[in-house]
Structure 1
Amino acid sequence: MKDNPRQITEIQAAIIVISTIIGVGVLPLPLFASRAGGTGGPMVTAVAVVTALVSLLLITKLGQRFPKQTIVQYSEELIGKWPARLGTVCIIVFFGVLTAMTAREFGEVVITSVLKKTPLDVTVIVMLLLAALSTRNSLATFAYIHQFYFPLILFPAMVIIALSLKNANLLYLQPVWGESTAGMLHGILIIAALFQGSFVMTLVIPAMRSPGKAMRASFWGIAISGGLYLLIVIATLAVFGPEETNKLLWPTLELAKVTSLPANILERLDAAFLAIWVTAVFTTLLSAHYFTIHALSQLFRLNDHKLFSMMLLPYVFVMAMYPKNVLQMYEIISMVGRIGLVLTFVYPLFLLLVAIFRKKGGGKTDDRNRTTDRKGAEPTPSVSSQPVK
């Protein structure tokens, strides 16, 4: 973090988490919830949000024990060089696949709903190029990009959800518990996997001005993004009902189609919603690709991550084009998401237990005693108080 000495604020950290989570998964989210729990879809989503919150707080707690290092660096200190590198490689591959599947899902939605005559590979490579070029910036610029797009993602989405509720039928949300408990457990894992982009917090904590406030930033990041996801599921199920929702590939997009502004200023909001969604996909891709290339640069002990921003692009593109159709794409996304839960929850939990057992890290993260100025100056050494005559 030589080029970014403690520049990210608590609010920026929370915004990074929010805009990373809110992304391509917004469209099929009600379908996942409805298939898992029927009328209990909101319950499934709420439990998944709590699961994601516990996972992120665990990751944040681990990062606070090593406030000057990322997970790539302190994992080697905890479990040894080669086991840690193996874990890092698995995480890098996972986020590379996550980037590819996000780009592919974006392409499928665009050629189905908007640009029907545009080849799929063109839409995928354009979004990947845009994300790759943006990852060449510093971590501070990365935070500013998220901060700039955050209002354009959150507030219009809230307006669309609020307007859609005028067509709601609360009977579609009863019973609250749903039908199949086993199906609900499976759905919780699938929806919790949509929050795995919050793992980028391991990269953000070492660049925060106050790493001690990272826990609060993580909490609000999950609370706001998870609250939006819960409202989307409630609104979609209340408008269409579980049976109709199960027949829709992207229920949230259909919800925007049947929503209109007062006085029929706009009879359909799907065009406006897609504009918001494209922005959300970009910020998600940006975070996933940025984490991947940063982890690679730290794995190979390089000072600059820009080398990998374009180098990885062909491999990510090939992975994105591997699924033969939409159904196979969602099968891969579901499988990768379940595997990712091991890497983003079990692996950090193991590292935290090792850190506690070996009494590693755990230093104070309050940076009042080690504040650096904006030019990167060293902390002012404390001087013993002497009486001045």
Structure 2
Amino acid sequence: MEETKEVTTVQAATTLISTIIGVGVLPLPLFAVRAGETGAPFITLLGIGIAVLGLLIVTKLGIRHSDQTIITYSEDIIGKWLGRFFSLFVILFFTILTALAAREFGAVVITAVLLETPLEVTVLVMLLLAAISARNSMNTFAYIHNFYIPIILAPVLIIVALSLKNANFLYVRPIIASGFRDSFYGALTIAALFQGSFIMTLLIPSMKKPQSAMKAGLWAIFISGGLYLLIVLATVAIFGAEEMKKLYWPTLELARTTSLPGNILQRLDVIFISVWVIAVFTTIFASYFLTIHSIKQLFRLQDHKMLAYFMLPFIFVLAMIPQNIVQMYEVIKMIGRAGLMVTILYPMLLFLVDVMKRKRRKKSEAT
């Protein structure tokens, strides 16, 4: 690696948290309720479990190859050409993920805030901001995430905590309210919202103590997953499962119905939207950064900066493909579930092959 190892364990954890908590915060309860009705919190918990499994595998692999990213060590594990072939899928997936996150951001903004602003403008502005920021080094990347994490976490936790005073926990009973098939697909959709944790593959080679990456990852999943679970629990307990099916962004409605004690501020949705914009930026920034760094390593380029603007038009075009909000969320769910093959099954395959190769090597050395 050309960069010094300056990323701390805390910075790695905060980077993961701010990457995971992003645009998916708004539709999260809707995805969970459609899959599990009153059992939405249980579905969310299952999704978090799947996400933990994926992060553990990616982190374990990264620690075993602490000076490389998945783009480079995959070539050592399964061969140069096969590794590059699968790396193309990783790059393609995170390119699409960046585009869909930007499109979802644009859809929310022109619907809830800037009603007269063209969709293309909001999407392009966010992508341009991410492209400019992605030209920085890994250390600056980690510092940016570390700076924004209190601004993201504190207001959301306060809003969720204040909203619980209006909760009716009868709305979350029975705890398991759907069949195995619906629960499984719902859990996969929720797990897809944690795919930003794949940025760990890029963080480990720049960490001062790569062995502490597991600790950082577990703390990140615990905090971000706990926040997601609280949001789903609060929205279901306040609106009820049937009412939530009519809302595209239940979390935004939760903020609108919450006020500070003493009516100091009767609507917190303005604060929430401001925080959400920052959270979306950090998520898109991370996936954009991961995309261009992966391309740089795949083609053995000296620098990633020129790729930041080069990829911008491609990502923008992809972002504008969905025709409307309904189609956009159908694409997001489909791509998200399919992407689990890239973020969980592929690293699992690499891990199994790597373990077998090392065992075989030890046997041959012993003989």
What TM-score do the two structures reach when normalised by structure 2? 0.97
Q: How many Å apart are 1:307 and its aligned residue? A: 1.2
Q: How many Å apart are 1:217 and its aligned residue? A: 0.5
Contact persistence 1:78–1:360 (CA under 8 A): no
Q: Runs of 4 or more off by more than 3 Å in structure 1?
A: none
Which residue in the other structure is 2:186 paired with? 187
Output the amino acid matched with 2:100. M
Which residue in the other structure is 1:227 paired with? 226
- Alignment partner of 1:282 is 2:284: no
RMSD over equivalenced CA pairs, Å: 1.2
The within-5 A match list for 1:310-389 is 310-359=309-358
Contact persistence 1:8–1:209 (CA under 8 A): yes
Contact persistence 1:36–1:180 (CA under 8 A): no
Q: Separation in 1 of the partners of 2:355 and 2:127?
A: 40
Output the amino acid matched with 1:153. I
Q: Separation in 2 of the partners of 1:29 and 1:211?
A: 32
The within-5 A match list for 1:247-266 is 247-266=246-265
Q: Separation in 1 of the partners of 2:359 and 2:282?
A: 34
Gaps of 5+ in 1: 363-389
Q: Separation in 2 of the partners of 1:225 and 1:268?
A: 24
Q: Separation in 2 of the partners of 1:147 and 1:351?
A: 30
The percentage of aligned residue pairs carrying the same residue is: 58
Output the amino acid matched with 1:113. A
- Alignment partner of 1:57 is 2:56: yes
Q: Separation in 2 of the partners of 1:179 and 1:297?
A: 45
Which residue in the other structure is 1:144 paired with? 143
Q: Deviations over 1:310-339 (max 9, x none)?
A: 000000000000000011111111111111
Q: Separation in 2 of the partners of 1:324 and 1:128?
A: 19
Q: How many Å apart are 1:360 and its aligned residue? A: 8.1
Output the amino acid matched with 1:48. G
User: 1:359 aligns to what SS in structure 2?
Assistant: helix
Q: Separation in 2 of the partners of 1:59 and 1:181?
A: 27
User: 2:193 aligns to what SS in structure 1?
Assistant: helix
Output the amino acid matched with 1:234. L
The within-5 A match list for 1:78-157 is 78-157=77-156
Q: Deviations over 1:35-93 (max 9, x none)?
A: 11111000000111111011101100011110000001111011111111111100000
User: 1:116 aligns to what SS in structure 2?
Assistant: coil
Contact persistence 1:66–1:361 (CA under 8 A): no
Q: How many Å apart are 1:180 and its aligned residue? A: 2.7
Contact persistence 1:19–1:280 (CA under 8 A): yes
Output the amino acid matched with 2:107. E
Q: Separation in 2 of the partners of 1:181 and 1:80?
A: 38
Q: Separation in 2 of the partners of 1:352 and 1:249?
A: 38
Output the amino acid matched with 2:141. F
Gaps of 5+ in 2: 362-367
Q: Separation in 2 of the partners of 1:361 and 1:286?
A: 41
Q: Deviations over 1:230-255 (max 9, x none)?
A: 00000000000000011101000001
Q: Deviations over 1:119-138 (max 9, x none)?
A: 00000000000000000000
Q: Counting helix residues as a fraction of each chain, which structure ranks higher?
A: 2
Q: Separation in 1 of the partners of 2:346 and 2:184?
A: 21
Number of residues of Structure 1 aligned to a counterpart in Structure 2? 361
Contact persistence 1:258–1:268 (CA under 8 A): yes
Q: How many Å apart are 1:177 and its aligned residue? A: 1.2
Which residue in the other structure is 1:367 paired with? none
Q: Separation in 1 of the partners of 2:75 and 2:206?
A: 20
User: 1:136 aligns to what SS in structure 2?
Assistant: coil
Q: How many Å apart are 1:361 and its aligned residue? A: 12
Which of structures 1 and 2 has the bigger CA Rg?
1
Q: Separation in 1 of the partners of 2:36 and 2:252?
A: 20
Q: Separation in 2 of the partners of 1:319 and 1:11?
A: 34
Q: Separation in 1 of the partners of 2:69 and 2:359?
A: 14
Q: Separation in 2 of the partners of 1:188 and 1:361?
A: 37
Q: Separation in 1 of the partners of 2:320 and 2:176?
A: 39
- Alignment partner of 1:176 is 2:175: yes
User: 1:185 aligns to what SS in structure 2?
Assistant: helix
Output the amino acid matched with 1:349. M
User: 1:243 aligns to what SS in structure 2?
Assistant: helix
User: 1:14 aligns to what SS in structure 2?
Assistant: helix
Output the amino acid matched with 2:104. E
Contact persistence 1:65–1:361 (CA under 8 A): no
Which residue in the other structure is 1:365 paired with? none
